[in-house]
């Protein structure tokens, strides 16, 4: 991955469209560069001016005569292409195109954006935007944007697909004293996109946490590969909007974003170790927690409160957020018993009672922090006549130093009386909220990072298959295309599956009753017959299935019955013959499926099969890209079907390894053949020593789709 070092730390920067007119964006950009303390060379470009904000002005980029790392373009869209070309000819490394009027306005803009990208490619220039506010790095320092000033210096990198969001956050952050390492407006992401900026922030020594506001992901495959590595280095927290169908439409008209399925985003983020949040406030609450706190070792929370109500609310919230209440040791309880009143509740949540002063809080706080069962601590304080908010806050700050490995959060619920105490905590880096819920959401976010990080470190790869297997599948798909079909016949699908080691009860195609009998004799009875037609999806509905055929006579009769029924109910439908399959013994039914997501590629599904599949919706999902065997095992354990398969109430356990292997091979097949659009193994019977799919449907992209 190419380095963005010269973008965020340029030796020289040119502003094309720089202006002496304070109303112009071109003025604000130069003003920001100057005011942020940027120490490199600055070249304003404007054919009419000699000097702008004290910098010598040039009529064009070509006339500077010295190397330029970054050129910011702030002139209207139509002439910007010619200027971009001049930048290329002058050897500029990075273009930041502020100008709007590209992909986001439709056909004309899209054509313009493609041309801009072509120019950049021709001259080996990287492009930020177009349609951006600009970029900032507080440590360089650099502010190449038309924002209203710069953020405070800090350790949070904020990457945004919406410029307006970035500007709003900048303003808000200053009122909260929140610092940033970088601000990046990505705009239309014609070239550089979230993957480049997330990776660059992951490598940036001044960034501790990476936040992103996204409306879509440009390249799902690259996202999975790169962001996974980034998450191992530092927390990546993403708010992805457009989850509702109306939101997705709005996102698409905003920056021309192509929103894929939200489910796939969810799965992709989890597989990459990304913490996904749903609200802007969560994004920053979590960022502040990561900046100031150690990551909790586990999910056990200790709560100390001076009032019952908030204690109960917080306890409920612990559960809702997938956390657990710490169970204190006998020693901890004993320690508290010696110093707290008899009415106090010594079990989690610890209630030190409404008349508690700072000393009583201190006893409880220290006791639970000392306990090995506590992974994180939440202080809840409501104001009573005797509460000492500032003193309590100060004692929590000193405990934090003593127990530095455990994250500490606070919720001071009240108003004016608590303001000073809250300030003491915030200044010491203890996240302090007016209510308990956001504190617990933040703890849960931190815990999920620990878990996700552990998960993405496991990497047993998917099995590979031989070149011969690939050639077999290729030849079958070629025949299907040549036949202008997209749905594979049962026998073709079964051969594809078999080539990849996916266990499917073999299916053979018979074109006459005699052929069916010969195949049935070789397979052994009982036998199942199914109509073979790419046009018939629900075979049973048209009398296209005969089961439990015990001998040659029944096979002949079944064959003729199917042909007769189909020709009566669906006259003229092409029928290729009859599929012959051995009838398999019964067992727990599961399903394995694959559909292809627009952004992230093959999305695998596993769940309970049979007649309840739609009712129970017991399905778990993973993306095939970057998938490993451990993830597949986890995918199976996430379903209720897992309880059944492990051996429920004395039933024999099923072969989970065989199911895992089948899923892995379906993933491998979908990765190797992008032209396969859908795979449906239903049912897959789980036996004690194997697994076997009884039916397999494979759909390939038809010719038109492949040309896209």
Q: Which CB sits closer to ligand COA, 21 or 643? A: 21
> Could you tell me what percentage of the chain is helix, strand and coil, using 3-state DSSP and rounding each to the nearest 5?
45, 20, 35
Q: Does 575 bind ligand COA (CB under 6 A)?
A: no
Shortest distance (Å) from residue 212 CB to ligand COA: 16
Rounded least distance, CB 65 to ligand COA, Å = 17
Nearer to ligand COA, 146 or 269 (CB): 146
Contacts for 363 with CB less than 8 Å, ≥ 6 apart: 335, 336, 339, 340, 352
Specify which residues 679 forms β-bridges with. Answer: 594, 698
* Closest separation in Å from C-beta 133 to ligand COA: 5
Return the residue of 4, 10, 14, 17 that touches ligand COA, per CB under 6 A.
17
CB of residue 197 to ligand COA, shortest distance in Å? 16
Identify which of residues 59 and 548 has a Cβ nearer to ligand COA in the complex.
Answer: 59
Q: Which stretch in 21-29, 216-224, 498-506, 568-576 sits in contact with ligand COA by CB under 6 A?
A: 21-29
* Residue 39: partners with Cβ closer than 8 Å, 6 or more residues away: none
Residues 605-624 that bind ligand COA (CB under 6 A): none
Supply 607's token pair: 């769940």
Pick one of 7, 8, 19, 150: the residue that binds ligand COA (CB under 6 A). 19
- Give the nearest distance from C-beta 163 to ligand COA in angstroms: 2
* φ, ψ dihedrals at 517, nearest 5°: -65, -45
535: number of Cβ within 10 Å: 12
Q: Are 321 and 245 a contacting pair, CB within 8 Å? A: no
Indicate which single residue of 9, 24, 391, 455 sits in contact with ligand COA (rule: CB under 6 A).
24
DSSP states of 38-107: --SEEEEE-TT-SEETTEEPBSSGGGS-S--SEEEE-S-HHHHHHHHHHHHHTT-SEEEE----SGGG-H
105 binds ligand COA (CB under 6 A): no
The two tokens of residue 440 are 């617990």
Binds ligand COA by CB under 6 A, chosen from 2, 3, 5, 21:
21
Minimum gap (Å) between residue 111 Cβ and ligand COA: 17
CB of 25 to ligand COA, least distance (A): 4
Three-class SS state of 596: strand
CB of 256 to ligand COA, least distance (A): 13
The C-alpha atoms of residue 613 and residue 606 are separated, in whole angstroms, by 11
d(CA 636, CA 657): 10
Nearest approach in angstroms of CB 157 to ligand COA is: 18
Among 12, 28, 32, 46, binds ligand COA (CB under 6 A): 46
Contact map string, positions 368 to 397, toward ligand COA, x by CB under 6 A: ------------------------------
**With binding defined as CB under 6 A, does residue 48 bind ligand COA?**
yes
β-pair partners for 380: 305, 411
- Under the binding rule (CB under 6 A), the answer on residue 407 touching ligand COA is no
Per CB under 6 A, the list member of 4, 7, 14, 16 interacting with ligand COA is 16
Alpha-helical regions (H) of 552-646: 552-569, 613-616, 629-637, 641-645
Tell me how far apart the alpha carbons of residues 148 and 140 are, in angstroms, rounded to a whole number.
18
Among 45, 283, 443, 636, binds ligand COA (CB under 6 A): 45
Pick from 98, 128, 214, 318: which binds ligand COA (CB under 6 A)? Answer: 98
Number of residues located near ligand COA, criterion CB under 6 A: 24
Name residue 607's beta-bridge partners: 591, 619
- Piece of the chain touching ligand COA by CB under 6 A; list 20-28, 210-218, 381-389, 659-667: 20-28
CA 399 to chain centre: 36
Residues in the chain: 708
CB of 21 to ligand COA, least distance (A): 4
Question: Tokens 């306005």, residue?
Answer: 105
Q: How far apart are CA 111 and CA 113, in angstroms?
A: 5
Residue with Cβ nearer ligand COA (33 or 422): 33
In angstroms, give the least distance from the CB of 20 to ligand COA: 6
CA-closest candidate to residue 195, choices 226, 171, 173, 150 = 226
State yes or no: residue 214 binds ligand COA (CB under 6 A).
no
Residue 26 binds to ligand COA (criterion: CB under 6 A): yes
Structure-block tokens of residue 180: 């940033």
- Which three-class secondary structure state does DSSP give residue 669? helix
User: Using CB under 6 A, which residues numbered 64 to 93 contact ligand COA?
Assistant: 74-76, 79, 83
Nearest-approach distance from CB 281 to ligand COA, in angstroms: 22
Distance CA(690)–CA(523), nearest Å, equals: 19
Count CB neighbours of 489 within 10 A: 22
Quote the strand ranges of 186-252, DSSP E.
209-214, 236-240
- Which residue's CB is nearer to ligand COA, number 98 or number 685? 98
Which of residues 32, 99, 200, 305 is near ligand COA by CB under 6 A? 99
The least CB distance from residue 138 to ligand COA, in Å, is: 20
Q: Say whether residue 100 binds ligand COA (CB under 6 A).
A: yes
CA–centroid distance for 41 within its chain: 39
C-beta of 60 vs 565, nearer to ligand COA: 60
Residues in contact with 316: Cβ distance below 8 Å, sequence separation at least 6, in sequence order: none
When asked if residue 163 is in the footprint of ligand COA (CB under 6 A), the reply is yes
State yes or no: residue 430 binds ligand COA (CB under 6 A).
Answer: no
Within 328-367, the residues that bind ligand COA by CB under 6 A are: none
Residue nearest to ligand COA (CB): 163
Nearer to ligand COA, 71 or 226 (CB): 71
Nearest residue (CB) to ligand COA, 162 versus 581: 162
Q: Which two tokens stand for residue 509?
A: 């195609």
State which of positions 123-162 bind ligand COA (CB under 6 A). 131-133
Quick one: which of 189, 192, 172, 166 has its CA closest to 8? Answer: 192
Q: Considering the complex, what minimum distance in angstroms separates the CB of residue 160 from ligand COA?
A: 9
Which of 63/464 has CB closer to ligand COA?
63
Q: Please state the separation of Cα 707 from the chain's center in Å.
A: 29
Q: Residue 260 phi/psi, 5° resolution?
A: -85, -170
H or E stretch including 163?
Answer: helix 163-176
Q: Find the farthest-apart pair of alpha carbons in the chain and give their distance in angstroms, rounded.
A: 100
Q: Is residue 25 a contact residue for ligand COA (CB under 6 A)?
A: yes
Binding site for ligand COA (CB under 6 A): 16-17, 19, 21, 24-26, 45-48, 74-76, 79, 83, 98-101, 131-133, 163
């Amino acid at each position: 991955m190419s380095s963005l070092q010269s973008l965020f730390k340029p030796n020289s920067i040119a502003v094309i469209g720089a202006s002496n007119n304070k109303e112009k964006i071109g003025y604000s950009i130069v003003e920001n560069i100057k005011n942020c303390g940027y120490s490199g060379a600055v070249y304003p470009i404007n054919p009419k001016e000699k000097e702008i904000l004290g910098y010598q002005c040039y009529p064009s980029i070509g006339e500077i005569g010295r190397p330029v790392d970054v050129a910011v373009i702030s002139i209207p869209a139509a002439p910007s292409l010619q200027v971009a070309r001049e930048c290329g000819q002058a050897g500029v490394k990075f273009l930041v195109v502020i100008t709007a009027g590209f992909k986001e306005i439709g056909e004309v803009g899209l054509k313009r954006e493609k041309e801009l990208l072509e120019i950049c490619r021709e001259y080996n220039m990287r492009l930020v935007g177009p349609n951006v506010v600009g970029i900032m790095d507080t440590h360089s320092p650099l502010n190449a944007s038309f924002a209203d000033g710069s953020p405070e210096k800090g350790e949070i990198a904020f990457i945004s697909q919406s410029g307006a969001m970035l500007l709003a956050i900048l303003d808000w952050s200053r009122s909260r004293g929140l610092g940033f390492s970088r601000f990046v407006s990505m705009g239309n992401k014609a070239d550089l996109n979230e993957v480049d900026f997330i990776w660059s922030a992951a490598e940036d020594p001044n960034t501790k946490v990476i936040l992103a506001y996204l409306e879509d992901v440009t390249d799902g495959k690259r996202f999975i590969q790169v962001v996974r590595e980034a998450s191992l280095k530092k927390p990546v927290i993403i708010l992805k909007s457009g989850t509702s169908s109306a939101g997705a439409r709005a996102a698409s008209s905003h920056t021309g974003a192509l929103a894929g399925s939200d489910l796939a985003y969810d799965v992709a983020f989890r597989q990459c170790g990304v913490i996904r949040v749903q609200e802007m406030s969560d994004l920053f609450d979590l960022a502040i927690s990561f900046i100031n706190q150690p990551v909790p070792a586990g999910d056990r929370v200790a709560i100390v409160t001076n009032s019952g109500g908030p204690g109960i609310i917080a306890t409920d919230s612990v559960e809702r957020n997938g956390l657990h209440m710490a169970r204190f040791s006998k020693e901890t309880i004993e320690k508290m018993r010696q110093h707290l009143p008899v009415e106090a509740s010594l079990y989690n949540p610890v209630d030190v009672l409404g008349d508690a002063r700072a000393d009583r809080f201190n006893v409880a706080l220290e006791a639970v922090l000392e306990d090995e069962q506590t992974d994180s601590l939440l202080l809840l304080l409501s104001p009573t006549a005797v509460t000492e908010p500032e003193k309590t806050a100060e004692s929590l700050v000193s405990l934090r130093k003593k127990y530095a490995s455990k994250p500490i959060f606070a919720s001071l619920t009240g108003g004016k009386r608590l303001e000073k105490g809250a300030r003491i905590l915030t200044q010491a880096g203890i996240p302090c909220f007016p209510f308990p819920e956001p504190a617990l959401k933040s703890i849960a976010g931190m815990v999920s990072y620990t878990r996700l990080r552990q998960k993405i470190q496991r990497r047993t790869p998917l099995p590979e298959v031989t070149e011969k297997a690939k050639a077999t599948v290729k030849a079958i798909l070629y025949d299907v295309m040549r036949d202008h079909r997209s749905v594979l016949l049962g026998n073709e699908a079964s051969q594809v599956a078999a080539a990849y080691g996916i266990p499917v009860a073999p299916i053979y195609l018979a074109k006459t009753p005699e052929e069916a009998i010969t195949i049935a004799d070789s397979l052994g009875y009982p036998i199942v017959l199914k109509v073979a037609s790419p046009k018939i999806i629900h075979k049973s509905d048209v009398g296209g299935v005969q089961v439990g055929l015990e001998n040659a006579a029944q096979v002949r009769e079944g064959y003729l019955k199917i042909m007769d029924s189909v020709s009566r109910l669906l006259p003229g439908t092409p029928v290729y013959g009859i599929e012959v399959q051995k009838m398999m013994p019964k067992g727990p039914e599961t399903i394995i499926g694959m559909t292809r997501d627009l952004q992230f590629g093959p999305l695998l599904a596993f769940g309970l099969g049979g007649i309840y599949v739609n009712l129970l919706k017991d399905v778990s999902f993973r993306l095939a890209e970057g998938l490993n065997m451990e993830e597949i095992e986890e995918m199976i354990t996430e379903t209720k079907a897992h309880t059944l398969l492990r051996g429920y109430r004395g039933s024999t356990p099923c072969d989970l390894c065989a199911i895992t292997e089948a899923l892995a091979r379906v993933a491998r097949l979908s990765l190797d053949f992008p032209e396969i659009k859908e795979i449906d193994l239903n049912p897959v019977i789980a036996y004690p020593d194997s697994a076997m799919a009884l039916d397999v449907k494979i759909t390939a992209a038809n010719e038109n789709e492949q040309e896209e």
